[in-house]
Amino acid sequence: MAVLDFFRDILREPAFLMGLIAMIGLLALKSPGHKVLTGTLGPILGYLMLSAGADVISGNLTPLSQMIEKGFNIRGVVPNNEAITSVAQELLGVETMSILILGLVFNVLIARFTRYKYVFLTGHHSFFMACLLSAVLGAIGFEGWRLVLIGGFFLGSWSAISPAIGQKYTLQATDGDEVAMGHFGSIGYYISAAIGSLVGKNSKSTEDIKVPEKWSFLRNTTISTALTMVIFYLIAAFAAGSDYVSTIADGTSPYIFALLSGLKFAVGVTVVYAGVRMILADLIPAFQGIATKIIPNAVPAVDAAVFFPYAPTAVIIGFLSSFVGGLIGMFILGYAGSILIIPGLVPHFFCGATAGVYGNATGGRRGAVVGSFINGLGLAFIPALLLPVLGDLGFNNTTFGDVDFGIIGILLGKTGDWMGSAGIYVIIVVVLIALILPSILRPSKVAINNIEIDED
C-alpha cells in the first residue's frame, strides 16, 4: 500500500508528472546530462510557479465569494472540485487511486496504438475525474475490479479523446503551437470557439483593442487585471458591509482588505503567466523525444492556464462574461424551483477565462463575450443536473464544477438509471469504436485533428 500511495501522489502532482515526461523525452533524444537536469527541473519549477499563482488566485476568490453571498443574500450549492474530491476520498479512496493509475496506463496505450496521440499531463484533473467515475459507477452498482477497470478505461479514453475533439480550435488559439487542451472543462471551451465562429465575423481580436495614450498603462496585463479586480472586490465589500468583511479580514480594515485582495489576485495571475512560460520553454522541446522515439507524433495536453498568455485581455473578458452567465443561470434555476447553483468564482475564472481565449480565437471580441457567457450558463445548469447522479456524494452541498465532469457524469449516471450495467457496456463499445475507427478509415501517423501538420 505504501508503494501504491507513493505512485498515487506522483500521479496526482502535475509538476512531477511533467518533469518525468520531460526527462523521458530528453533521455530518448540522448541529450547530455546537464540538459536532462535543467530540462527536467524547468517544467517542474514552472508548474510549481503556476500552482503558486493559482493558489493565490483561489485564496483571494474565496473571500470575494463570501462577500457576494452575504452582500446579495445568495444561498445554495457552490460547485468546487477540490471540496467534493475531499469528501469522495473518505468514501472511495482506494477506488479513486486505482482508477487514477489505470487511467494513465490506458491513456499511454491509446496514444501509442491509435491516432489519439494526446498525452494528458494535468494530473490533478485526472484525479478529480477518477473521483467522479468512482462515485457515479459506484452509484450505478459497479464495485471491485469491475469498477476500477471500467473507470480506468473511461478516464484513459477521455484523456486522449477530449484534447482531440477541439484540437483545430486549440491550434487557432495558440497560433499553431504543438500543445493540446488537457483540462476537463474542454467541451465548454470548444463550444465557446464554435459559437465564436458563428457570431464573430469581422470582429476584431480582444488583443487589438485600441487604448488612448493616456490609458496606455492598461496594456500592462497585471495593472489592468488589478484595476478590474479591485473594483470587483470593493463593490462586493460595500454590499456585504464593513461588519461582515471585518470577520474575514483578520483585523485589517475591511476596504483595505478588499483592495489588497484585488491586488494579490493580479499578482497571482502574473505568477501563473511566468510559470506557463517556464513550462513551455522546456516541455515542448523535450516532448519531441516522446513524439519521435516512444509515442510517435505525441502531443502534450496541458492545463487550461497554459493558454492564458495567448490572449490576456480575453482572459479578463471571459471571466467577467462567464460570471454574468453564471448569475443569470442561478436566477433561472431559482425561478424554476431547481437546486440553486451559486457561481463558484474559481471555475468561472479558470474556465471562463479559457472560454474567452477560445472564443476570441475564432470570433474576436464578440466570440470571447458570447462564448464565455454560454460557458457560464453551462457552469450553472450542468452541475445542477449532475447532483442527483452522484449517489452519496450528492448530499454534501457541493458538486463538480467544470463542464466535462458534469457531462460525463450525467451521461453515465442517466444511462445506468435507464439501462443498468448493460448501458455502460454499450458506451464502452461505442468508445472502443471511436478509438479504433479513425485508424482504419484514414490511416496516418499523425494525431487525429492535429490539422496543421496532418500528412494525409
Quote the number of domains for the chain: 1
**413-417 average pLDDT score:** 90
Residue 190 has a pLDDT of 97
Give percent of the chain with pLDDT exceeding 70.
Answer: 88
Q: Is residue 451 part of a domain?
A: no
Helix, strand, coil % in the chain, rounded to nearest 5: 80, 0, 20
Q: Is residue 176 part of a domain?
A: yes
Residue 211 has a pLDDT of 58
444 to 109, 160, 179, 393, 451: CA distances (angstroms): 17, 17, 19, 43, 12
pLDDT bin (cut points 50, 70, 90) of residue 4 is: low
Q: Is residue 450 part of a domain?
A: no
Residue 87 has a pLDDT of 61
Tell me which of 158 and 94 has the higher pLDDT. Answer: 158
Q: Is residue 73 part of a domain?
A: yes
Residue 293 has a pLDDT of 75
Cα 282 from Cα 208, distance rounded (Å): 29
Q: Is residue 106 part of a domain?
A: yes
Q: Is residue 448 part of a domain?
A: no
Residue 452 has a pLDDT of 47
Cα 423 from Cα 417, distance rounded (Å): 9
- H-type alpha helices, 75-166: 81-113, 123-140, 144-165
Tell me which of 362 and 286 has the higher pLDDT. Answer: 362
pLDDT bin (cut points 50, 70, 90) of residue 394 is: low
> What is the chain's mean pLDDT, rounded?
84
pLDDT bin (cut points 50, 70, 90) of residue 309 is: confident
| Own/partner pairs, 51-55, CB within 8 angstroms, 24+ separation | 51/14, 51/15, 51/275, 52/271, 52/275, 53/267, 53/268, 53/269, 53/270, 53/271, 53/272, 53/273, 53/274, 53/275, 53/305, 54/268, 54/272, 54/305, 54/350, 55/268
Whether the pLDDT of residue 283 is over 90: the answer is no
pLDDT bin (cut points 50, 70, 90) of residue 86 is: low
Q: Is residue 447 part of a domain?
A: no
Comparing 245-254, 408-417, 418-427, 446-455, which segment has the lowest mean pLDDT?
A: 446-455
Comparing 178-187, 207-216, 307-316, 406-415, which segment has the lowest mean pLDDT?
A: 207-216
**353-364 average pLDDT score:** 94
pTM as predicted: 0.78
Comparing 28-32, 36-40, 375-379, which segment has the lowest mean pLDDT?
A: 28-32
Residue 92 has a pLDDT of 66
Edge-to-edge strands of the sheet including 118-120? Answer: 118-120, 299-302, 180-181
End-to-end CA distance of the chain: 47
pLDDT bin (cut points 50, 70, 90) of residue 124 is: confident
pLDDT bin (cut points 50, 70, 90) of residue 456 is: very low
pLDDT tens digit sequence for 51-66: 788 788 778 877 877 8
Cα-based angle 124, 127, 132 (whole degrees, multiple of 5): 130
Q: Is residue 97 part of a domain?
A: yes
**How does DSSP classify residue 300?**
E
Residue 453 has a pLDDT of 43
Judge whether 349 and 304 are in contact, CB under 8 Å. no
Whether the pLDDT of residue 279 is over 80: the answer is no
Q: Which residues, 6 or more positions from 405, have their beta carbon under 8 angstroms from its beta carbon?
A: 81, 128, 129, 132, 184, 386
Cα 364 from Cα 360, distance rounded (Å): 4
How remote is the C-alpha of 238 from its chain's centroid? Answer: 32
**403-423 average pLDDT score:** 91
Domain that holds residue 292: 2-441
* Dihedral sign (CA 225, 226, 227, 231): positive
Whether the pLDDT of residue 300 is over 70: the answer is yes
Q: How many CB atoms lie within 10 A of CB 241?
A: 13
